[in-house]
Structure 1
Amino acid sequence: MLKGFAVPLTLQGDSAITRPPSWHYPSDCIAVEYWSDPAAVEALLPPGMVPDAGSNGRCLFWCLDWQFTGSNEELTDPARYQYREAFILAEARFEGIAVNHCPLIFVDRDAAIARGWIQGLAMVLGSVP
């Protein structure tokens, strides 16, 4: 029987692109707060979400240099467990509740993309300075 948490599944289960949770994430990061045109924020929101009128288009741009751990293998395979990420958060409301919507998220490692997809984030591969 094939084993593994994520594809590719193999007989031993050691080839999966990402290991099972729990995952822990220390990082160095910088966040930039800015205000965008509320109409531009609205254009990025999925159906059912509306701009937060009280935030007046408030957004955050984050850049992170991550070191994560998933299976205590980060010392033997550091390239798999280090990556950079950049994303935007826009303040919005969903069913009246204040939320931060993440319309854009870029990472520079495929294992990070796989974990993001599992967590429901639409990550894409990109060059993150």
Structure 2
Amino acid sequence: MSMAWTTPYSKSGRSALVPAGPWSYGMEAISVHAMLSGFEELLPENMESEGEGYVYFAEIISQSPNFPELNYEAPGLVQYRELAIFLKVKYGGRVLAYCPFMYVDNDVSLLRGFVAGFPKKLAVIDITREHPLLEQKKFGGVAMRGGYGLAKMVVEPMEEVESNPLDSFGSWMLYRFAEPMGVKEFVEIVPEVSYAKIERGNAELKLYSGINDELPVVKEILGGYRFSALLKIREIKKVQ
């Protein structure tokens, strides 16, 4: 099996920006379950939504058994921050989680996402970190790109719960689009998520549009969450 998923090419595969997976993702995240508006222009044809959405900020450690040395010899290549927006949609008679925007601060994650169809862009992302000797009651995330703001989130965890609303959205649906190469296809990602802890509480969320980002508007906040999770990808498949 090749050690590489992408260029730059070398016979060993060690020069590839994205080494071969399977990749696993350890996540420390804050999130908001909300009703969104102004998203209609973001949906591909034949896809519908009533506006139920889910937005998260996460610090992520990624790891592949095909190149474990990265995690201790060059940890900055596999550790990154992420902002993601999902909409619960109906497509082909199914309920799915459609991702119109995702932002990261790391080039490995950026290109790895493109391979699968994630709509990733680079952004500056800051997230509150916890320390065992500091009392932290509220956790926040802010993101900006090109000099303008993208999102601001604050979550105040209040109680431990057993479920995360995003899991009820179903499999993740992506639209892989590359016009010069004639690529216009849907990709379904089946996630496998295990949680160490999920907390629910109060939340604030603002999404901002910019010259190159047409983000939806927050209409109503349904709940805030903080969670620690391990994400694996069970299956990736093109949708006919």
- Aligned residue number for residue 58 of structure 1: 52
Equivalent residue for 2:29?
A: 29
For 2:4 and 2:52, how far apart are their aligned partners in 1?
Answer: 41
1:48 corresponds, among 42, 46, 49, to: 46
1:40-62 per-residue CA deviation (whole Å, 9 max, x = no partner) reads 232211112111xxxx4111111
3-state SS of paired residue (2:32): strand
Residue in structure 2 matched with residue 103 of structure 1 by the alignment:
100
- Residue 99 of structure 2 aligns to a residue whose secondary structure is strand
Which aligned segments of 4 or more residues in structure 1 are displaced greater than 3 angstroms? Answer: none
Shift of 1:118: 1.3
User: Alignment RMSD, CA only?
Assistant: 1.4
Q: Which runs of 5+ in 2 are unaligned?
A: 127-240
1:32 alignment partner AA:
V
Normalising by structure 1, we get a TM-score of 0.87
Q: Structure 1 residue 85 and structure 2 residue 82: aligned? A: yes
Q: Does 1:72 align with 2:68?
A: yes
* CA distance in structure 1 between the aligned counterparts of 2:125 and 2:25, rounded to whole angstroms: 17
| Identity value in percent | 26
1:127: Cα distance to partner?
0.9
- Stretches of structure 1 that go unaligned for 5 or more consecutive residues are none
**Match of 2:34, as an amino acid?**
Y
How many residues are aligned here? 121
* TM-score normalised per structure 2: 0.48
Higher strand share: 2
**Letter in structure 2 aligned against 1:47:** E
